Amino acid sequence: MDLSIIIVNYNSKAKALNCLESIGRADLAGIDYEVIVVDNNSRDGISEAIKSGFPKAKFIQSERNRGMGGGNNLGVRGAAGEYLLILNPDTMVKEDSIKTMLEAERQDPQIGLLGPKLLYRNGRLQYSCLRFPKLLTPIYRRTFLGKFAERHLDQFLMKDYDHETRRQVDWVQGSCMLIKRSLFTDLAGFDERFFMYFEDTDLCRRIRQAGFKVMYDPRAIVIHDHERASASDSWYIAPFTNRLSQIHLASWIKYFIKWKFRANL
């Protein structure tokens, strides 16, 4: 089998179903693929919706919320494809995006992971290929201090690049990423110490450390209906009231401890 498409759902049934519909409309002619949906114990009725609307999809019910990395690892254990396409449930693929990504990675064996251009629903560019964060990057992004660190944040978001040409990058958002299953397995998949956030940064860093390239390919376009739920409260309140902000903070600390506070490889 060529490709396993893995979607991890947590209380996102409507968006996950939209994602599945976009896959059904995609040009996948000549590609032997499967779709695996992992439900992170949300119990939002997605199992019944998939059985009735997408009977060919493989459904895995997790007995607990494993987080993004853990949920994807569970899906990969049931995957048969040579390549893995990790998709967030709030994404919608353009008709030719999956085929474009797969062909690009097959043409260059040094590509370890490839990400597409992500757009918001209104067509605005989402900065999804980035430089590795420095220690204070998350603080600048989530507090008023970012007003005094615009150059730092612009560099992190790669605003000095037009995002219209293929290029090697430090890392890409985990909302949509294509990776060879053998490499994913060799690297032991996502590090499940990161329940959510930084699991994608960490994986890309390990791929680059192993001598492979992380590529951004804007020829492939994916819509990402993204909401920054962890930033919904004011910066000075969120660490105390917003569970996702607390998770983000914990992952930030774990990431920099793991990589010994190094911003680069």
- Is residue 238 assigned to a domain? no
- What average pLDDT does the segment 258-265 reach? 82
Across 21-39, b (16+ Cβ under 10 Å) vs e yields ebbeebebeebebbbbbbb
Tell whether 200 is covered by a domain. Answer: yes
Express each pLDDT in 86-104 by its tens digit.
999 999 999 999 999 999 9
CATH of the domain at 182: 3.90.550.10
For 224-255, write each residue's pLDDT tens digit. 998 654 444 444 444 545 677 788 888 999 99
Asked if the model's pLDDT at residue 263 lies above 80, the reply is: no
- Report the pLDDT value the prediction gives residue 255, as an integer from 0 to 100: 93
The pLDDT of residue 212 is above 80: yes
Please state, in angstroms and rounded to a whole number, the distance separating the CA atoms of residues 150 and 167: 24
Residue showing tokens 């999804």: 128
Tell which residue, 27, 71, 29, 26, has the closest CA to residue 46: 71
Q: How many domains does the chain have?
A: 1
**pLDDT tens digit string along 190-200?**
999 999 899 99
Kindly state the average pLDDT of the residues 148-173.
95
Pairing of β 33-39 and β 129-130:
unpaired
Q: Give residue 124's domain range.
A: 3-134+161-230
pLDDT at 241: 53
Q: Is residue 243 part of a domain?
A: no
Residue 76 predicted with pLDDT over 50: yes
